Amino acid sequence: MRKITYKEALREALREEMRRDPTVFLLGEDIGKYWGGAFKVTKGLAEEFGDERVRDTPISESAIIGAAVGAAITGMRPVAEIMFGDLTALAMDQIANQAAKIHYMFGGQVKVPLVIRTPFGAGVNIAAHHSQSLEAWFMHVPGLYVAAPSTPYDAKGLLKTAIRGNNPVFFCEHKLLYPIEGEVPEEEYAIPFGVADVKRDGSDVTVVATLYMVHKALDAAEELEAEGVSVEVVDPRTLTPLDKQAITDSVKKTGRLVVVSEDCKTAGVSAEIAAIVAEEAIDYLDAPIKRVAEPDTPVPFSPPLEQYVIPNEKTIIKAVKEIV
């Protein structure tokens, strides 16, 4: 099968959906002809679809999302890009109070089919305002779906589902994933939300990982295999809805759980997953649940500082070894 990058996979999804449905349009800062998006995801799309449908906006995050909300409730399917996940804080009211709640608050009268794409993640030395992983913020808002693909295949399939769906979707990407290559079929496909993917089969310990950490977990699993420890890597792919079944099924098989997530540990993605397993599958646990996450600090700038806080193969291996 052909291989393309995560970034190309996202772009393909956008292009195909824009061709298929004239109500799909993009808006965001520097996503148009001149730049093609800070991470070049939308590069070339303005040329094909024009400035109206690939719309450069002022630097007004709140109004970008507000515009998407207003358009979504009046018949359009906007896909908004927020240049860095950290900047979603500027648009939080529009995301959490408006986009997420309108369907509910108005008694189901209207649907809000919009997608907010944004990259999270540390590792490229751009410090505290451009490196956070804030997925958990959005998991905490009922009414939003939260997608978090880790591979080109998942990125394309999930983005298509996000655009076609009738609910607001917070679509988490990761800066370090954009150049990653993976197999993506030429033919049409979409990936349903709420269906996890077992990225690697194993029998001794379940590692649930998200976004870029899926790759770190797979690296760790490879090393552990050599030492005789069989690791199963489960990627939830969407955090809301979360495929609890797949996670608990895996834990029932292995009896051990390590959750790896790049966000801060306290009240983070890993906390939620650990809680679900404690609540629904504790009788299958043969060891304490381990969480590998960033410490509760902002992301620092200097490379040694930054590398210190990001989970990696070594910290994952250490956590696994503590419980097998």
Partner 1 sequence: MVTRVVMPRLSLTMKEGTVGVWYKKEGDNVEKGEPLVEVFSEKATYDLEAPASGVLRKILVQEGVDASVNAGLAIITAPDESFSEAEISVEMPQAVEKAEKRILASPAAKRLAREHGIDLALVKGSGPDGRIVEEDVRRFIEETRGILPKVKEIIPLSGFRKTSAERVSASFRTVPHSTVVMEVDASNAMALHDKLQASYTAILVKAVAKTLAEYSIINSTLEGNQIKIFEDVNVGVAVATENGLVVPVIHNADKKSLGEIDAAIEELTQKARQGKLAREDLTGGTFTITNLGMYGVEFFTPIINPPEAAILGVGRIVEKPVVVDGKIETKPITMLSLSYDHRIVDGAPAGEFLRKVKGKVEKSFEIEG
Partner 2 sequence: METGLTREKIVGMYRKMLEIRSFEERVFELYAQNLVPGTIHLYGGEEAVAVGVCSNLRKDDYITSTHRGHGHCIAKGAEPKRVMAEILGKQTGYCKGKGGSMHIADFSVGMLGATAVVGAGIPIAMGAGLSIKLRGTDQVVACFFGDGASNQGTFHEAINMAAVWKLPVIFVCENNLYAMGTRQSIVVLIGNIADRAVAYGIPGIAVDGNDVLAVHEATREAVERARKGEGPTLIECKTYRHKGHSRIDPAKYRPKEEVEEWLRKDPIRRFKEKLLQKNVLMEAEIQQVKKEILTEIEEAVKFATESPYPAPEGALEDVYT
Among 110, 126, 195, 287, binds partner 1 (CB under 8 A): 287
Catalytic positions are 130
For the CB of residue 228, give the shortest distance to partner 1 in the complex, in Å. Answer: 15
Nearer to partner 2, 63 or 190 (CB): 63
Residue 255's binding partner out of partner 2, partner 1, none, with CB under 5 to 8 Å set by partner kind: partner 1
DSSP 66-133: HHHHHHHTTT-EEEEE-SSGGGGGGGHIIIIIIITTHHHHTTT------EEEEEE---SS--TTS---
Neighbour-count burial for 54-80, b at 16+ CB within 10 Å, e otherwise: bbbbeeebebbbbbbbebbbeebbbbb
The residue count for binding partner 2 (CB under 8 A) is: 41
Nearer to partner 2, 25 or 171 (CB): 25
Q: Which of residues 106-145 bind partner 2 (CB under 8 A)?
A: 106-111, 142-143, 145
**Contacts for 153 with CB less than 8 Å, ≥ 6 apart:** 9, 182, 183, 184, 185
Site string for partner 1, 240-279 (x = CB under 8 A): ---------------x------------------------
Is 216 one of the binding residues for partner 2 (CB under 8 A)?
no
Q: Is the dihedral of CA 150, 152, 153, 156 positive or negative?
A: positive
Residue with tokens 């993976």: 182
E strand residue ranges, 100-249: 115-120, 145-147, 169-174, 181-183, 197-200, 205-209, 231-235, 238-240
Q: Is the dihedral of CA 14, 199, 255, 246 positive or negative?
A: positive
Is 98 one of the binding residues for partner 2 (CB under 8 A)?
yes
For the CB of residue 169, give the shortest distance to partner 2 in the complex, in Å. Answer: 11
Is 293 one of the binding residues for partner 2 (CB under 8 A)?
no
Nearer to partner 1, 165 or 202 (CB): 202
Question: Given the rule CB under 8 A, which residues bind partner 1?
Answer: 255, 282-287
Question: Given the rule CB under 8 A, which residues bind partner 2?
Answer: 23, 25, 52-53, 57-58, 60, 62-63, 65-76, 78, 93-94, 97-98, 102-111, 142-143, 145, 166-167
